[in-house]
A and B are shown apart, each in its own frame.
Chain A
Amino acid sequence: MGSLVKQRVLRTIILLILGVYFILPLIAMAEFSTRGKGGSRSLESWTSIVDDEGLMEALVNSLLLSVTSAVLMLVLLVPTMAWIRLRLPQLQRLVEFLCLLPLAIPAIVLVVGMAPLYAWVNFFLGDSPLTLTFAYTILVLPFAYRAVDAGLAAIDLKTLAEAARSLGASWFTVLWKIVVPNIRVALIGASLLSVALVLGEFTIASLLNFDTLQVQVNLLGKRNAGVSIAVSLLCLLFAFVLLFALSYVGQRRRQTVVEE
């Protein structure tokens, strides 16, 4: 019994200390971003977020990018991975290696090699920030791969596909009407992760000179710290809500498995 009390005390101490350590910057951000003139409180930093055209434009860019990157990731990854499980097990290791490779190559290194590549991309496709979709799809690969792989491992893909094929379904129908609905929870998970990652990405966008949310926030910080801090706080809270929602998505999957 004594050790249980000790455990509870120790646990409370750890949670209190680290809790304060991590919450203090959040409080500081809220305090800093509501400072007015002469020690008063003001919401000016918050209201001027919406008025800042550069920031809004960058936000739109980032939101669009988060969608295009998630879509490209799904289009490339899901059919390939399902097909590899069904017909091309030889490629399993290669594809896994390629998908996890970005973990070993820091983004700051990748961007060194991407700079000359993007000179070509921008020459052929224009210099829209949306061309970052290609780079971001690479960045989200490791996370997306794991999520989709777990989803595919949890269903009996071979049997499902054979049943559908014997009933005359085309491979496209198998993919669209059998695979996708069965692993939709994994796909939602992969998409949410990539949205969060794209909205927070700074390294590649800033060094390839594209105007995204984080690049603007950083730039803005040089002349108006209050607004930058307000947007930063919003970013952190938004990412938190996304990941918090994700924890329920994961749980629903666990429950369905139990029910089955």
Chain B
Amino acid sequence: MTSVAPVAAAKPGGSTPKKGGAAGRPSVAAWLVAVPFLAFVGTFLVYPTVLVLFGAFQDSNGAFTFDNLTTLFTGVVFDAFVRSIELSALTAVIGAIFGALLTWAIAVGNPDGMLRRTVVAGSGVLAQFGGVPLAFAFLATVGFEGLVTKFLRDNVGIDLFAGSAWLFDLPGLTLVYTFFQIPLMVIVFLPALDGLRPQWREANASLGGTSWTYWRHVGGPILTPPFLGALLLLFANAFSAYATAAALVSQGSPIVPLQIRGFLTGEVVLGQENLGKALGLGMVIVVSIAMGVNVLLQKRVAKWVR
């Protein structure tokens, strides 16, 4: 498995066939060009994935078992899955609604304007690269000594933390997650809104339609499939997210990714070495379902549109 790096490095010189026209069936040499890529991806993507998926069905001695999977449906592990799904679904809905509104607000503006550029670039940052900095943004804002916390305590007389340390539990995660869910919605949904042609609005108006009839009979039906698709993508995104939660929650493991952290950093009960892999398999299944439904949905739509 370590031969990967040298193979990748030797690529340009070693495997370039000098003869053979551009047409016709590819020779053996032609296939060789794809070898470095396939070897690399095989080693660092397919192999770890297979390790997780198969490991989920093995006990500590490597024998086949369903025990890890049945454990997924019991106790703290199951609760974590339920909480993860709730958190992801809730933030997906919030993100989709507010994200769609924000997308609309920039889509009706100047396509090359400063506002749109800023919102799109900012959304990209928060949606894809937020991670740890986002957690610290929250500590600075609504943490124990955060700007908003202090302002409310000193000037309004409200103690944000009177009830509990909510920021470091599910309510806090929900709030923080909207900060990458809304931006992700903007990125995913903007192309769909850009696809609405102004002629459709004009046709609606010239036939005596109002804004309401336009959205009810034209915009709405066209945007529903991409909206639902984006909703599923947001769900999968929140479900997979780890960095922000890990930086924010250092004690306890309310959600599945943090449970997996527990297994990787050594809080492993003897005989349950592969339970972490079963959790991984569970996550892959949930994400795959969300993405699979999305693919079916978009296929359906492609059929109508034609």
Q: Which residues of A contact B (CB under 8 A)?
A: 3, 6-7, 11, 14-15, 18, 22, 24-29, 31-33, 72, 75-77, 79-80, 83-84, 86-88, 90-91, 95, 98-99, 101-117, 120-121, 124-125, 134-135, 137-138, 141, 158, 161-162, 165, 170-172, 175, 196-197, 199-203, 206-207, 214, 217-218, 221-222, 225, 228-229, 231-233, 235-236, 239-240, 243-244, 246-247, 251
B8 x A72 contact (CB < 8 A): yes
A18 x B280 contact (CB < 8 A): no
Question: In the complex, A222 Cα to B26 Cα: how many Å?
Answer: 58
Residues of A within 8 Å of B2, CB to CB, are 120-121, 124-125
Residues of A within 8 Å of B129, CB to CB, are 196-197, 199-200, 235, 239
State whether the Cβ of B22 lies closer than 8 Å to any Cβ in chain A. yes
State whether the Cβ of B133 lies closer than 8 Å to any Cβ in chain A. yes
The 6 closest A-B pairs by CB, nearest first: A113-B48, A106-B240, A200-B129, A232-B133, A28-B147, A32-B140
B16 x A108 contact (CB < 8 A): no
Question: In the complex, A172 Cα to B17 Cα: how many Å?
Answer: 10
Question: In the complex, A148 Cα to B243 Cα: how many Å?
Answer: 28
Question: In the complex, A26 Cα to B48 Cα: how many Å?
Answer: 38
Question: In the complex, A203 Cα to B245 Cα: how many Å?
Answer: 10
A171 x B48 contact (CB < 8 A): no
Question: In the complex, A29 Cα to B103 Cα: how many Å?
Answer: 26
A88-B131 CB under 8 A given contacts A28-B137, A232-B136: no
A101 x B264 contact (CB < 8 A): no
Among A84, A199, A200, contact of B130 (Cβ-Cβ < 8 Å): A200
Q: Which of B37-45, B61-69, B75-83, B160-168 contacts A (4 or more CB under 8 A)?
A: B37-45
Question: In the complex, A123 Cα to B291 Cα: how many Å?
Answer: 37
A31-B46 CB under 8 A given contacts A200-B131, A203-B242: no
Closest chain A CB from B111 CB (angstroms):
10
State whether the Cβ of B229 lies closer than 8 Å to any Cβ in chain A. no
Residues of A within 8 Å of B44, CB to CB, are 114, 117, 134-135, 137-138
